[in-house]
């Protein structure tokens, strides 16, 4: 009894001593010793091949606390960055550049809250495998980070204040997510990009972001950022981009349409529900792909001064189907011309014809542009809005 | 170092043993026939204390028999002694014509049976018994030539009147609480349970205090071996004095070194009665307004008397609130520390930015900040508790100002830390019986979190769980009925089932009689059709 | 001389089995190597595991209230029996070290890069050792609380990640060659299902031994079912990344993002790992020390907890040099290495016992 008591005491003492003395606090780091990186840019110097990383870090002391000092908003000057700080470091490889950050930073960079990986277009065209490997291997990166290609340099889009968010990268991420929600351009995460890269046949994509100028108050020019398209990669190299219409077509095909609008010459429609399916068919070495799209929409605008009738509705449905089909087809044609399987047709064939796929896969580059694609769209107009007759009739 | 500790323990145990032996050697001394001799012995034993009253008198019809009554002033009801003992002895005895005084021993029987008009009279022939009973408030009558003494229960002293229970509050349900008098307390229990099998066993513990202890249980419900075990443990106590049930608690625990209390207590007769009815035993101590109840399960800390008086849904909800509050009060500061200094990646980004902004410019590491704040809070709490009521206000004002405002605005402590600590503090008061335990665990977990982050928190939690699972309260696993699992008893753990659904007593207590009520008592609407027919 | 006086109920046994099977499979998904058919491999592995469980529960039913150590000295005679017992104990010991290794490497890589391995290791060893010292009863009670909690968390994890699932990732079904699939299935059987062979040390303390087999297979089925779902989930969420990342479940939890606030759930995976790994290591540790105490006729197994714990820690630190080596061993060598222990010892013992018509006094003599 006494022995057990003693052994218990000793166990407790041992536990406490061990946890205090042995542990120390190796991994403990105070929040105010961290530099929270909100966006990471990656550029490559075409001449030397050197990598430049751009860190966009948050300056916590500049974030206004809601109850804190009032009137913090008065100096929200144009183009001045109060809440974020940009740092650049250059090295022969991504990690070399990362390493050199310590030469001019005062805090340890902390990547777990990074929202955006931005690539300069020149760099992306040279291949981004080095960067992808670094972030996949490194446990500090997360799978949800958005992949963005900048029209010029990565650092350009990381320094322009955008959106209403106080941190630029958060604003940019919100912008991209909003456009994905309204089915304009895809938002591509790190995980999705890697998956497309791994599949060999499917081409990775990323959001393309550019800058534009706007006239502001007092005749000043305001720089803003805007999503301009979808970057298409072949393996890890960017080979082209899809414009607005082609991006929509892409989204229709890969079943990424959630909300959004279909704009016809005579009417605008709001997408309520959409579903698409890629159905491949293999007929003695010829591949035929049918994209089946089911869509439901509501009427938002109608320019024809007529009372609504079922005939008009059916006409609208038909026009809508035609519009969607043409969007898809432009995207398909563009992808054929780039010879990049952005839709994952290859994987769809793989799913259905797994035996033949072994033979098809190595030749996919040759097969792909010769695929026959058909689009079948079923549309349905649900609601016509609050009025059932025209306000002004001709 | 451990060896030394072992030796020390040995030594202490030995000392105790020898002491015990020296006390118990004396054999009882009988009363002699000579009254003076007896009085002399009593005087010697009781000393020269001024509150010991020895009154000589002459009784019997011809006033020729010497007698004396002995009592302690203040412990007896003076009215009772004067009117119902002295008056009959000195007056009424004279009126009796029959001469019974020839035989002294029949005189004492006569006094007992026909003269004294008081309730409880004990005949004793051993002087130690007389002394101890006089000290307990009895009045002793000694008569010349008789080797027996009459011990009359004429206790009457000032005690606190019955008041509302102060610590275990309930909005619905009875209000009354125990007070410091053992008899009153047992009477309170008896008033609730009128079962003839309700047994109140008495014991005297304490070499010097000779404190009256009562074990209360219901024969037929309680497991028989449990009563033996309790008696055995109580009898093993050999202490100077028992001043409160807290003393008893520490002597009879299964795991004396544990921070978890394995003995329950309550200051409410209704709660005590409910536990006795479930198959537990209560231990009452004279001079303490609390009752111990054994065995105790961990879950009891989260049950409140009101649970059973309120509607079941809300009571169940409150159970969860209490669990949550207890978890918060133990873990919240630790989790905050771990998140802030180890796992910044686990905070959602918007939250992280806000917190980072608040943390900016705070000089202390967050772990030290947390410990500093926790200790400050404990100091304030203790000060508020011990201070005279009138000063308590001042403490709370200073506390609120120092912690809430100045520390933050001076940049010594982050505002989120204050929020965390305030939440913790409030949460720790939700289950008051667990508050002291919570405070200790909180500090332990915060220290571990400061060194090892969440990994340490989880490791220490698993260790605490394993430790809890190994605890027993008088042989009953502490964590039952959750583990070992007893599905039927779960009706009164995570939920509080309606009373009509709780048919059986907690099986983990292993009661003799498991059935609490007849089953199928769910209230139902009267069957209209058939009912009408019957009436017609 | 009874070394263990505690008794556990069948429910507790099931809970222990579930916790044990979860063990390190919380982070290292079984069935790796079968690509996106991992869940089929796990399902097949579960079947094999159930077969093996049937063998060893039959053995333990034959000899009620006896551990494998006592059984083998009954069946093979004193000296050969002890040799086989020592082999079996080695397996438990080695397996314990391997599980600890998984544990420590995971934490070192994903959560605590700067903390020395030995600290994490020692702390886990300490809680396991203290619980083992408290006996099988306490361990079983802990599992009753920890396992439902973990199952609940696992299901929450699955529910929250549903928006990120793409069931197309699971297609085409049966894509890998059948040979590779079967190898992966055997891998999934040897880790983690058949590792429940360690319960030959625990089954002796079940209060109703005749229901032991159903408790074991019940536990295996529940755990297997959840592991199948988890394997399918990982593939559906992560796609082909599932095959190349070391800890898919951890990455999977990182994907969770609901409304920007319900996010960053990877910590629950780590918590599950600690809780379940604790049960697994503790059972193996318990088997090792109890087995050694029985082989060497010690009066109590508690005295050797500390030395065995230290030895296990040393083996953990030295047995593999890198995570790659660890995974390599787990994928290629372990499924073969484990066969003699997981199938060989119980099957041969059962056959020999049947041939020798043991136990002669009948099953009722405990």
DSSP B170-222: -SSS--B---S-HHHHHHHHHHH---TTEEEEEEEE-TTT-EEEEEEEETTTS
Say if CB C44 and CB C185 are below 8 A apart.
yes
* Alpha-carbon gap: A217 to the closest alpha carbon of chain C (Å): 34
pLDDT at B11: 52
List all residues of chain A from 361 to 390 with a beta carbon under 8 Å from chain C.
Answer: none
B357 and B221 in a single domain? The answer is no
* Alpha-carbon gap: A213 to the closest alpha carbon of chain C (Å): 31
> Contact B466/C260, CB-based, under 8 Å?
no
**Structural domain of residue C237, as residue ranges?**
10-347
Predicted confidence (pLDDT) at residue A71 exceeds the cutoff of 50: no
Predicted confidence (pLDDT) at residue A149 exceeds the cutoff of 80: yes
> Contact B342/A24, CB-based, under 8 Å?
no
Q: Which chains touch C (3 or more CB pairs under 8 A)?
A: A, B
Domain presence at residue C4: no
> Contact C113/A194, CB-based, under 8 Å?
no
Mean pLDDT taken over chain B: 84
Q: What is the largest CA-CA distance in chain A?
A: 104
Buried b (16+ CB within 10 A) or exposed e, A184-204: bbbbbbbbbbbbbbebebbbb
Mean pLDDT, residues B217-242:
91
Is B475's Cβ below 8 Å from some Cβ in C?
Answer: no
- The rounded distance, in Å, linking the Cα atoms of B439 and B371 is 11
Q: Give per-residue pLDDT as tens, B497-527.
A: 888 888 888 888 888 888 888 888 888 888 7
More confidently predicted of A387 and C222: C222
Q: Which of B348, B477, B485 sits opposite C263 (nearest CB)?
A: B348
B223 and B291 in a single domain? The answer is yes
pLDDT at B272: 93
Going by pLDDT thresholds of 50, 70 and 90, the confidence category of residue A2 is: low
* Alpha-carbon gap: A351 to the closest alpha carbon of chain C (Å): 4
Distance of CA B137 to the CA centre of its chain: 24
Mean pLDDT, residues A9-22:
66
pLDDT at B519: 84
* Residue A326 in tokens: 């043409």
User: How much is the CA Rg of chain B, to the nearest whole Å?
Assistant: 31
**Structural domain of residue B133, as residue ranges?**
35-153
Mean pLDDT, residues A216-232:
84
Mean pLDDT, residues B114-142:
84
Is A23's Cβ below 8 Å from some Cβ in C?
Answer: yes
Q: Give per-residue pLDDT as tens, A296-336.
A: 999 888 887 778 888 888 888 999 999 999 999 999 999 99
The enclosing domain of C92 has a CATH number of: 1.20.1740.10
Domain presence at residue C352: no
Predicted confidence (pLDDT) at residue B264 exceeds the cutoff of 70: yes
- The rounded distance, in Å, linking the Cα atoms of C263 and B522 is 45
Q: Coil, strand or helix: which one is B164? A: strand
What number of C-beta contacts closer than 8 Å exist between B and C? 87
Predicted confidence (pLDDT) at residue B80 exceeds the cutoff of 90: no
Residue of C nearest to B485 (CA): C144
- The rounded distance, in Å, linking the Cα atoms of A381 and B486 is 58
Mean pLDDT, residues C237-258:
88
Residue of C nearest to A196 (CA): C240
- The rounded distance, in Å, linking the Cα atoms of C180 and C33 is 7
Going by pLDDT thresholds of 50, 70 and 90, the confidence category of residue C145 is: very high
Going by pLDDT thresholds of 50, 70 and 90, the confidence category of residue C356 is: confident
Predicted confidence (pLDDT) at residue C278 exceeds the cutoff of 90: yes
Domain presence at residue C66: yes
Say if CB B251 and CB B236 are below 8 A apart.
yes
Predicted confidence (pLDDT) at residue B27 exceeds the cutoff of 80: no
Is A21's Cβ below 8 Å from some Cβ in B?
Answer: no
pLDDT at A199: 86
Residue of B nearest to A142 (CA): B345
Predicted confidence (pLDDT) at residue B105 exceeds the cutoff of 70: no
Mean pLDDT, residues B105-114:
75
CA nearest neighbour of B318 among B305, B333, B331, B329: B305
Say if CB C156 and CB C289 are below 8 A apart.
no
Say if CB A380 and CB A295 are below 8 A apart.
yes
> Contact B466/C130, CB-based, under 8 Å?
yes
Predicted confidence (pLDDT) at residue B354 exceeds the cutoff of 90: no
Is B462's Cβ below 8 Å from some Cβ in A?
Answer: no
Interface mutation vs chain A, best among C253, C254, C260, most A CBs within 10 Å: C254
> Contact C110/A195, CB-based, under 8 Å?
no
Domain presence at residue B414: yes
- The rounded distance, in Å, linking the Cα atoms of C251 and C347 is 39
pLDDT at B104: 62
Q: Which of B455, B479, B484 sits opposite C107 (nearest CB)?
A: B455
Interface mutation vs chain C, best among A20, A135, A143, most C CBs within 10 Å: A143
Work out the percent of chain B whose per-residue pLDDT is above 90: 27
Beta bridge partners of A40: A55, A117
Return the domain boundaries, chain A. Answer: 30-61+79-242, 243-394
> Contact C241/A198, CB-based, under 8 Å?
yes
Say if CB A344 and CB A278 are below 8 A apart.
yes
List all residues of chain B from 307 to 346 with a beta carbon under 8 Å from chain C.
Answer: 343, 345-346
Is C37's Cβ below 8 Å from some Cβ in B?
Answer: no
Q: Can you tell me which residue has the tokens 């991992």? A: C38
Say if CB B216 and CB B276 are below 8 A apart.
yes
B186 and B228 in a single domain? The answer is yes
Q: Give per-residue pLDDT as tens, B37-61.
A: 888 888 888 877 888 888 888 876 6
* Residue A137 in tokens: 């291997």
Q: Give per-residue pLDDT as tens, C179-228.
A: 999 999 999 999 889 999 999 999 999 988 888 889 999 999 999 999 99
> Contact A144/C110, CB-based, under 8 Å?
no
Is C137's Cβ below 8 Å from some Cβ in A?
Answer: no
Is B465's Cβ below 8 Å from some Cβ in C?
Answer: yes
> Contact A195/C238, CB-based, under 8 Å?
yes
Domain presence at residue C172: yes
- The interaxial angle of helices C78-106 and C117-134, nearest 10 deg, is 130
> Contact B484/C270, CB-based, under 8 Å?
no
Q: Which chains touch A (3 or more CB pairs under 8 A)?
A: B, C
Q: Which chains touch B (3 or more CB pairs under 8 A)?
A: A, C
Mean pLDDT taken over chain A: 84
> Contact C127/B459, CB-based, under 8 Å?
yes
Q: Which of B454, B467, B485 sits opposite C144 (nearest CB)?
A: B485
- The rounded distance, in Å, linking the Cα atoms of B484 and B495 is 18
The length of chain C in residues reads 366
> Contact C274/B462, CB-based, under 8 Å?
yes
Say if CB B422 and CB B412 are below 8 A apart.
no
Residue of A nearest to B457 (CA): A19
Domain presence at residue C361: no
> Contact B341/A34, CB-based, under 8 Å?
no
pLDDT at A20: 59
- The rounded distance, in Å, linking the Cα atoms of B139 and B149 is 10
More confidently predicted of C202 and A47: C202
Is A138's Cβ below 8 Å from some Cβ in C?
Answer: no
Q: Can you tell me which residue has the tokens 């059932």? A: A388
B243 and B342 in a single domain? The answer is no
The length of chain B in residues reads 536
* Residue A298 in tokens: 């509501």
Predicted confidence (pLDDT) at residue B402 exceeds the cutoff of 90: no
pLDDT at A18: 66
What number of C-beta contacts closer than 8 Å exist between A and B? 98
Q: Which run of H or E residues covers position A153?
A: none
- The domain boundary, picked from B415, B447, B473, lies at B473
Q: Number of structural domains, chain C? A: 1
Q: Give per-residue pLDDT as tens, A21-36.
A: 555 567 888 888 888 9
Is B455's Cβ below 8 Å from some Cβ in C?
Answer: yes
> Contact B342/A32, CB-based, under 8 Å?
no
Is B4's Cβ below 8 Å from some Cβ in A?
Answer: no
Residue of A nearest to B408 (CA): A68
Predicted confidence (pLDDT) at residue B150 exceeds the cutoff of 60: yes
Is C244's Cβ below 8 Å from some Cβ in A?
Answer: yes
β-sheet with B65-72: strand ranges across = B52-59, B65-72, B138-143, B149-153, B121-124
Instruction: Kindly report which listed range (A45-59, B301-315, B382-396, C204-218) carries the lowest average pLDDT score.
Output: B382-396
Query: Dihedrals φ, ψ of B494, to 5°?
Result: -80, -25
> Contact B355/A31, CB-based, under 8 Å?
yes
Q: What is the ipTM for the molecules in this complex?
A: 0.93
Q: Coil, strand or helix: which one is B431? A: coil
Is B347's Cβ below 8 Å from some Cβ in C?
Answer: yes
Q: Can you tell me which residue has the tokens 């319960």? A: C199
B210 and B83 in a single domain? The answer is no
CA nearest neighbour of C88 among C101, C103, C102, C73: C73
B209 and B281 in a single domain? The answer is yes
- The domain boundary, picked from B473, B505, B525, lies at B473
- The rounded distance, in Å, linking the Cα atoms of A96 and B164 is 74
Q: Which of C110, C241, C255 sits opposite A144 (nearest CB)?
A: C255
Mean pLDDT, residues B278-301:
92
- The rounded distance, in Å, linking the Cα atoms of B214 and A275 is 77
- The rounded distance, in Å, linking the Cα atoms of B334 and B532 is 65
pLDDT at C363: 45
* Residue A294 in tokens: 């089911």
Q: Give per-residue pLDDT as tens, B379-399.
A: 888 888 888 877 777 777 777
- The rounded distance, in Å, linking the Cα atoms of C360 and C366 is 12
* Residue C40 in tokens: 């089929």
Work out the percent of chain A whose per-residue pLDDT is above 70: 89
Mean pLDDT, residues A252-259:
90
Q: Give per-residue pLDDT as tens, C279-310.
A: 999 999 999 999 999 999 998 898 899 899 99
Is B9's Cβ below 8 Å from some Cβ in A?
Answer: yes
> Contact A19/B451, CB-based, under 8 Å?
yes
Q: Number of structural domains, chain B? A: 3
> Contact A9/B257, CB-based, under 8 Å?
yes
Top-level class of domain A243-394: alpha beta
């Amino acid at each position: 009894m006494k022995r057990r008591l003693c052994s218990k005491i000793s166990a407790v003492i041992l536990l406490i001593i061990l946890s205090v003395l042995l542990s120390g606090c190796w991994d403990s780091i105070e929040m105010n010793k961290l530099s929270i990186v909100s966006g990471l840019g990656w550029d490559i110097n075409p001449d030397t091949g050197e990598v430049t990383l751009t860190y966009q870090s948050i300056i916590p002391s500049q974030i206004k606390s809601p109850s804190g000092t009032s009137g913090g908003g008065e100096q929200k000057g144009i183009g001045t960055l109060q809440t974020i700080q940009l740092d650049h470091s250059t090295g022969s490889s991504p990690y070399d550049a990362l390493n050199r950050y310590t030469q001019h930073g005062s805090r340890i960079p902390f990547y777990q809250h990074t929202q955006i990986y931005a690539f300069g277009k020149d760099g992306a065209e040279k291949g981004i495998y080095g960067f992808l490997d670094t972030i996949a291997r490194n446990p500090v990166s997360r799978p949800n980070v958005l992949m963005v290609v900048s029209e010029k340099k990565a650092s350009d889009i990381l320094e322009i204040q955008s959106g209403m968010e106080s941190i630029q990268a958060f604003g940019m991420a919100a912008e991209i997510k909003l456009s994905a929600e309204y089915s304009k351009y895809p938002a591509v995460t790190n995980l999705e990009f890697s998956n497309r890269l791994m599949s060999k046949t499917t081409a990775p994509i990323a959001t393309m972001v550019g800058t534009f100028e706007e006239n502001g108050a007092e005749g000043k020019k305001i720089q803003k950022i805007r999503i301009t398209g979808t970057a298409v990669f072949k393996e890890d190299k960017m080979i082209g981009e899809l414009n607005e219409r082609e991006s929509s077509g892409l989204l229709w095909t890969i079943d990424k349409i959630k909300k959004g609008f279909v704009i016809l010459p005579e009417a605008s429609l709001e997408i309520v529900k959409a579903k698409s399916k890629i159905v491949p068919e293999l007929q003695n070495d010829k591949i035929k792909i049918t994209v089946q799209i089911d869509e439901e929409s509501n009427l938002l605008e109608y320019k024809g001064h007529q009372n609504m009738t079922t005939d008009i509705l059916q006409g609208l449905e038909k026009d809508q189907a035609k519009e969607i089909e043409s969007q898809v087809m432009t995207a398909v044609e563009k992808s054929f011309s780039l010879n990049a399987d952005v839709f994952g047709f290859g994987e769809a064939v793989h799913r259905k014809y797994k035996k033949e796929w072994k033979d098809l896969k190595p030749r996919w580059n040759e097969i792909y542009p010769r695929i026959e694609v058909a689009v079948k769209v079923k549309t349905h107009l649900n609601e016509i809005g609050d009025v059932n007759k025209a306000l002004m009739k001709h | 170092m451990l060896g030394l500790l072992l030796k020390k323990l040995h030594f202490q145990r030995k000392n105790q043993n020898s002491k015990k032996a020296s006390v118990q050697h004396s054999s009882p001394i009988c009363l002699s026939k000579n009254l003076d001799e007896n009085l002399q012995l009593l005087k010697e034993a009781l000393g020269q204390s001024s509150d010991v009253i020895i009154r000589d008198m002459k009784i019997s019809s011809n006033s020729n028999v010497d007698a004396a009554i002995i009592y302690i002033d203040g412990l007896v009801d003076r009215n009772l002694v004067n009117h119902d003992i002295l008056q009959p002895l000195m007056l009424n005895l004279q009126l009796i014509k029959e001469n019974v005084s020839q035989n002294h021993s029949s005189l004492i029987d006569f006094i007992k049976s026909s003269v004294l008009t008081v309730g409880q009279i004990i005949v004793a022939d051993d002087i130690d018994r007389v002394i101890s009973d006089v000290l307990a408030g009895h009045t002793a009558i000694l008569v010349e030539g008789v080797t027996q003494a009459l011990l009359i229960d004429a206790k009457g002293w000032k005690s606190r009147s019955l008041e509302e229970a102060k610590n275990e509050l309930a909005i619905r349900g009875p209000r009354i609480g125990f007070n410091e008098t053992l008899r009153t307390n047992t009477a309170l229990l008896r008033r609730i349970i009128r079962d003839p099998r309700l047994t109140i066993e008495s014991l005297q513990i304490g070499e010097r205090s000779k404190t009256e202890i009562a074990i209360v249980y219901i024969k037929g419900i309680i497991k028989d071996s449990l009563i033996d075990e309790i008696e055995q443990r109580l009898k093993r106590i050999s202490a100077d004095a028992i001043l409160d049930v807290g003393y008893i608690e520490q002597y009879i625990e299964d795991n004396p070194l544990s921070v978890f209390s394995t003995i329950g207590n309550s200051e409410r007769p209704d709660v005590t009665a409910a536990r006795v009815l479930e198959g537990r035993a209560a231990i009452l101590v004279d001079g303490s307004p609390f009752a111990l109840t054994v065995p105790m399960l961990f879950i009891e800390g989260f049950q409140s008397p009101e649970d059973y008086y309120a509607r079941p849904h809300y009571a169940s909800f409150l159970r969860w609130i209490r669990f949550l509050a207890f978890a918060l009060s133990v873990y919240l500061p630790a989790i905050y520390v771990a998140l802030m200094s180890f796992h910044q990646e686990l905070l959602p980004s918007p939250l992280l930015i806000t917190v980072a902004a608040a943390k900016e410019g705070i000089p202390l590491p967050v772990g030290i900040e947390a410990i500093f704040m926790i200790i400050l809070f404990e100091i304030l709490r203790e000060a508020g508790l011990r201070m005279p009521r009138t000063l308590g206000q001042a403490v709370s004002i200073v506390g609120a100002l120092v912690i809430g405002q100045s520390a933050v605005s001076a940049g010594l402590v982050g505002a989120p830390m204050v929020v965390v600590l305030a939440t913790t503090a409030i949460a720790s008061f939700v289950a008051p019986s667990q508050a002291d335990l919570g405070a200790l665990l909180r500090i332990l977990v915060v220290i571990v979190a400061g060194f090892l982050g969440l990994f340490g928190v989880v490791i220490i939690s698993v260790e605490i769980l394993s430790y809890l699972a190994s605890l027993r309260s008088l042989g009953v696993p502490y964590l039952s009925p959750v583990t070992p699992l007893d599905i039927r008893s779960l009706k009164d753990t995570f939920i509080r089932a309606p009373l009509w659904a709780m048919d059986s007593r907690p099986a983990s207590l292993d009661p003799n009689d498991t059935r609490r009520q007849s089953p199928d008592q769910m209230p139902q609407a009267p069957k209209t059709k058939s009912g009408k027919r019957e009436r017609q | 001389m009874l070394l263990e006086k505690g008794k556990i109920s069948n429910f507790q046994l099931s809970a222990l089995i579930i916790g044990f099977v979860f063990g390190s499979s919380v982070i290292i998904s079984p069935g790796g190597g079968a690509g996106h058919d991992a869940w089929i491999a796990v399902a097949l592995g579960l079947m094999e595991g159930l077969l093996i469980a049937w063998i060893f529960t039959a053995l333990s039913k034959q000899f009620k209230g006896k551990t494998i150590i006592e059984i083998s000295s009954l069946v093979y005679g004193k000296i050969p029996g002890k040799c086989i017992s020592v082999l079996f104990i080695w397996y438990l010991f080695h397996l314990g070290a391997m599980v600890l290794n998984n544990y420590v490497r995971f934490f070192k890589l994903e959560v605590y890069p700067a903390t020395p391995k030995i600290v994490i290791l020692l702390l886990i060893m300490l809680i396991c050792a203290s619980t083992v010292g408290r006996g099988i009863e306490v361990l079983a009670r802990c599992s009753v609380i920890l396992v439902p909690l973990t199952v609940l968390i696992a299901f929450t994890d699955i529910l929250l990640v549903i928006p990120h699932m793409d069931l197309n990732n699971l297609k085409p079904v049966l894509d890998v060659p059948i040979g590779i699939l079967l190898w992966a299935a055997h891998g999934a059987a040897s880790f983690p299902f058949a590792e429940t062979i360690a319960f030959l040390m625990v089954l002796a303390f079940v209060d109703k031994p005749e229901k032991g087999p159903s408790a074991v297979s019940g536990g295996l089925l529940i755990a297997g079912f959840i592991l199948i779902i988890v394997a399918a989930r990982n593939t559906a969420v992560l796609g082909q990344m599932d095959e190349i990342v070391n800890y898919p479940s951890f990455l999977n939890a990182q994907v969770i993002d609901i409304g920007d606030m319900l996010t960053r759930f990877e910590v629950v995976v780590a918590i599950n790992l600690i809780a379940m790994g604790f049960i697994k290591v503790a059972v193996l540790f318990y088997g090792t020390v109890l087995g050694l105490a029985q082989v060497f006729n010690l009066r109590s197994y508690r005295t050797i907890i500390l030395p065995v714990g230290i030895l296990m820690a040393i083996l953990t630190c030295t047995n593999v040099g890198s995570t790659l080596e660890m995974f390599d061993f787990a994928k290629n060598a372990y499924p073969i290495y484990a066969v003699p222990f997981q199938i060989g010892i119980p099957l041969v013992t059962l056959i020999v016992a049947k041939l020798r018509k043991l136990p002669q006094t009948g099953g009722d003599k405990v």
